[in-house]
Amino acid sequence: MATQGTLLLQKQLKDLRKNPVDGFSAGLVHESNIFEWEVTIIGPPDTLYDGGYFKAIMSFPSNYPNSPPTVKFTSEIWHPNVYPDGRVCISILHPPGDDPNGYELASERWSPVHTVESIVLSIISMLSSPNDESPANIDAAKEWRERRDEFKKKVSRCVRRSQEL
């Protein structure tokens, strides 16, 4: 029997195939697994990531949409809100409810109304404007704040590498 999550993800996949969204493409890693998607994010225009093609894997839990997916870049990316291992750290991917650390409002965290599209658009927005207040990559955040030229060089290198793949 198909679960609510399976049905929702099938509908979202069908919608994205019918009406692609500017800035990214998404599809299944394996046609047999609706819970694992590959996403390619095109670096947003007029940002340091402009021209890049960044691949990521979105893994949905079995209780989706009650819990958020994880998103992990498989392309190299230098960003304050991306852990060194590629995991994306943005509020909407954090479990629903109050933040035990008090950084985020419950309204900023995961809600079952989010879709693949709204998640990826949030990641694109994150690329456009890093949040260095609660960084996942402390070195990138520090560099973003204190040595912007070095930060730009590293991002340029990531963009070039993403174009070569």
Domain boundaries, the chain: 4-164
Average pLDDT, the chain: 94
Superfamily of domain 4-164: Ubiquitin Conjugating Enzyme (3.10.110.10)
- Residue 95 makes CB contacts below 8 A (sequence gap 6+) with 67, 68, 109, 110
Single-letter code of the amino acid located at 125? S
pLDDT confidence tier of residue 106, bands split at 50, 70 and 90: confident
Per residue in 154-163, pLDDT (tens digit) is: 999 999 999 9
Catalytic residue among 56, 88, 89, 120: 89
CA torsion angle for 158, 75, 138, 83 (degrees, to 10)?
Answer: 170
How many H helices and E strands in the chain? Answer: 4, 4
158 is catalytic: no
